[in-house]
Structure 1
Amino acid sequence: MVSTYRRRGRRATMLKLTFLMKRRQGMSFEDFRNYYENRHAPLAASLCPNLVRYTRTYLTGWEPLARSMQLPEPGFDCITECCYDVEGSWEERKADLLPADVFRQLAADEENFLDRRANRLVMTQQEESRPETFLGNAG
């Protein structure tokens, strides 16, 4: 995903990657979160110098929007967003943002806490509504 944001009064482009992460089978949610926050996140941040925003949003519960429906649990435990202050698409930039040696280090560490076969990188396009544009707001 490429999103636009304001940086020091001018528009800039940011590459934003969204990952759906599933914990390794047999690992408790608490151990998963602890490992991710205290081991993997610091490692990833140290290996990715162009990373300007790195968030992990952990699922703490879920329910179907139509409460009468029976749905399986989501296939992930965490939504991870990685934002890079670079121009271009992931396809154009992945070789320099995630070189092979960095990928190998991260993949090796991911084996400790993730079900790597279940994880997904999703491509999205983000739109934002500002409160002043909401219906009913006088402006």
Structure 2
Amino acid sequence: MIKSISLAYRKPGMTREGFSKYWRETHAQLAADMIPGLRKYVQNHFITTPGREYEGDGIVEMWYDNMKAFENSLTYLQTDAGKLLAADGEKFSEMRKGFLWVVEEHVIKNELK
């Protein structure tokens, strides 16, 4: 499995709560339904913690069967439908500011079942 991990930033002037609400309630379903080859999609919304500042506002994790499936998802973003998905992302986030890592996950311990 291949996983992409992205650091997400909210648009200037948008509250963290507004960002999280739109990302979770509107954009999430679009992404889950539209991105080809996407096997698992997890949003991690940062929680305000006293005395702690975070870089960004959330982390998104997306799993694909292999590197080819991930590359196909990137190609999809260049299609008309993919551009609509990206345009929705621009409504609440600074997509060009975010970071993207592509990793192969190795689970060492998992007691969550």
Using structure 2 for the length normalisation, give the TM-score: 0.78
Q: Number of residue pairs matched?
A: 111
Q: Aligned with 2:39: secondary structure?
A: strand
For 1:57 and 1:95, locate their aligned partners in 2 and report how far apart those are by CA, in whole Å: 21
Residue 76 in structure 1 maps to residue 63 in structure 2 = no
Bigger Cα Rg: 1
Change (3 A) 1:93 1:63: farther
For 2:102 and 2:66, locate their aligned partners in 1 and report how far apart those are by CA, in whole Å: 16
Unpaired segments ≥5 residues, structure 2: none
Q: CA RMSD in A?
A: 2.8
Residue of structure 2 equivalent to 1:136: none
Residue of structure 2 equivalent to 1:130: 109
For 1:95 and 1:60, locate their aligned partners in 2 and report how far apart those are by CA, in whole Å: 29
Aligned-residue sequence identity (percent) comes to 31
Shift of 1:45: 1.1
Residue of structure 2 equivalent to 1:57: 44
Q: Does structure 2 conserve the Cα–Cα contact (< 8 Å) formed by 1:50 and 1:97?
A: no
Choose between structure 1 and 2: higher helix proportion. 2
Map 1:80-91 → 2, pairs under 5 A: 80-84=60-64, 86-89=65-68
Shift of 1:116: 1.9
Using structure 1 for the length normalisation, give the TM-score: 0.65
Shift of 1:16: 1.1
Letter paired with 2:11: R
Unpaired segments ≥5 residues, structure 1: 1-13, 65-70, 133-139
